[in-house]
Homo-oligomer: A and B are copies of this chain.
Amino acid sequence: MSSASPSISIDLRVRYPECDPMGYAHHSVYPVWFEIARTELLRQTGVSYADLERDGMLIVVVKLELKYRRPARYDDEVRVIATTTRASGVRIEHDYEVRRGHELLCTGSTTLACLDREGKLQQVPEMLRLEK
């Protein structure tokens, strides 16, 4: 159990099929980038999501919010920053930022729930808990 706010930055290059006819990264791609950052944040704590899933723990997104400020374009290098803001009970919450250099492109947040294979809510695993 931790009391700091674990955070991670990952760098991604915007893929061609992630972009739409406007030439912008489609708005549905940002949740994918959030998930990549969140997975690496989990890996930092010594767990891989693939392992959790093999052990029968499913982690599903129950809430997602995004604000888009500026578009990302094909071939841009963007930085995705994920921070765990709360992880207790049956919920894990993260905040996100997507940046291109000094520009803030997008902010967002997710709430995750831990389920077993029958879809029953589970307590957040001890090693992932974050109390404030």
Residues of A whose CB lies within 8 Å of any CB of B are 15-17, 19-24, 26-29, 31-32, 35-36, 39, 48-50, 53, 58, 60-69, 71, 73-75, 119
Residue in contact with A35 in the complex, picked from B17, B31, B58, B61, CB distance below 8 Å: B17
Interface pair A53/B21, CB less than 8 Å apart: yes
State the majority secondary structure of interface residues on A.
mixed
Query: What is the distance, in angstroms, from A49's C-beta to the closest C-beta of chain B?
Result: 7
Interface pair A58/B22, CB less than 8 Å apart: yes
Q: How far is the CA of A32 from the CA of B31 in the complex (A)?
A: 12
A53 contact set on B, CB distance < 8 A:
21-22, 74
Question: Across the two chains, which residue of chain B brings its CB closest to A43?
Answer: B75
A–B complex contacts, Cβ < 8 Å, 12 sampled:
A15-B32, A16-B21, A16-B39, A19-B20, A19-B21, A20-B21, A21-B21, A22-B53, A27-B31, A49-B75, A64-B68, A65-B66
Interface pair A60/B22, CB less than 8 Å apart: yes
Closest 7 CB pairs of A and B: A50-B75, A27-B61, A28-B31, A17-B26, A21-B23, A64-B66, A65-B65
Q: How far is the CA of A73 from the CA of B60 in the complex (A)?
A: 14
Interface pair A20/B17, CB less than 8 Å apart: yes
Query: What is the distance, in angstroms, from A75's C-beta to the closest C-beta of chain B?
Result: 4
